[in-house]
Amino acid sequence: DEARPAKGLTVTITAGPTREPLDPVRYLSNHSSGKMGYALAEAAAALGATVHLISGPVSLATPSGVNRLDVTSANEMAEAAYRLAAQSDVFIGCAAVADYRAANVSEHKIKKTANSDELKLTLVKNPDIIAEVAKHRAGALRPFMVGFAAETRDVEAYARDKLTRKGLDMIVANDVSLAGLGFGADHNAALLLWPSADEAGQALGRRALPAQSKATLATAILDCLLERLEQADAT
């Protein structure tokens, strides 16, 4: 079935930002729109995959045929990711997970103090969700792991480092400093990198995808991913 090359595959995708509460009315977060993750979910469903979309708070409609699970904090996203990864063939970490959360969430609204101009927050590291999935599901049950690297400089070098350090099978790198691309935009360009020992001694395979809509970029990323997956299955 050429039009549905992902038929039979279960794909779990994280998307959007996470929100880390400080007190009942405040949180730390970031500008992720979730558009790239949602485009990937829509494209994967169109290619015939069963898709689980673990979504942080975004204002996007659920793509048709996609199972959406809403979460708020990184810890909630991690819990859902660990559970769904165990039943997935492919895991794509597209979420902009907050690196830190408040060490203590205040039960009541934090009040301004009259006698000090400073407020100190103590933050603790959140779990690196994709790295944990890549690590814990080692063996036959480990999904094919795809990460994203949004960078503002030295894109390829930082992406290579993330690919190796997080134990991923493929990374999608993009330069978010380019005008009109990346965060919040409808268009994006990407550099795909994956470990490959065979290509004339090259340690990495690479494919550059030019600036295009996030919808067509999502399909191009999945095309490459399915090729890699086929090759991984063959070896």
Q: Which residues make up each annotated binding site for CTP?
A: 93-95, 99, 109, 127-130, 148, 162, 166
Q: Does 218 bind ligand C5P (CB under 6 A)?
A: no
Give the burial string for 123-132 (b: 16+ CB within 10 Å, else e). Answer: eeebbbbbbb
Binding mask 20-49 for ligand C5P (x = CB under 6 A): ------------------------------
Closest distance between ligand C5P and the C-beta of residue 152, in Å?
11
- Report the sign of the C-alpha dihedral through residues 81, 82, 88, 93, in that order: positive
Which CB atom, from 53 or from 149, has the smaller least distance to ligand C5P?
149
Q: Does 219 bind ligand C5P (CB under 6 A)?
A: no
Structure-block tokens of residue 81: 């990711």
Neighbours of 8 (CB within 10 A): 11
Binding residues: 93-95, 99, 109, 127-130, 148, 162, 166
Which CB atom, from 49 or from 97, has the smaller least distance to ligand C5P?
97
Structure-block tokens of residue 118: 């400073």
Which helix H or strand E contains 10, and what residues bound it? strand 10-15
Closest distance between ligand C5P and the C-beta of residue 201, in Å?
27
SS percent in the chain: helix, strand, coil, step 5:
30, 30, 40
Closest distance between ligand C5P and the C-beta of residue 109, in Å?
27
| Secondary structure (3-state) at 90 | strand
Stretch that binds ligand C5P, among 43-51, 87-95, 180-188, 218-226 (CB under 6 A): 87-95
By CB under 6 A, name the one of 149, 209, 221, 229 that touches ligand C5P: 149
Q: Does 144 bind ligand C5P (CB under 6 A)?
A: no
Residue keyed to tokens 């100190």? 120
Stretch that binds ligand C5P, among 61-69, 111-119, 128-136, 226-234 (CB under 6 A): 128-136
Q: Does 169 bind ligand C5P (CB under 6 A)?
A: no
How far is it, in rounded angstroms, from Cα 35 to Cα 19? 17
CB 14 within 8 A of CB 97: yes
How far is it, in rounded angstroms, from Cα 15 to Cα 58? 9
How far is it, in rounded angstroms, from Cα 125 to Cα 102? 9
Stretch that binds ligand C5P, among 39-47, 124-132, 180-188, 210-218 (CB under 6 A): 124-132
Residues catalogued as catalytic: 30
Residues that bind ligand C5P (CB under 6 A): 14, 74, 93-95, 97, 126, 128-130, 147-149, 162
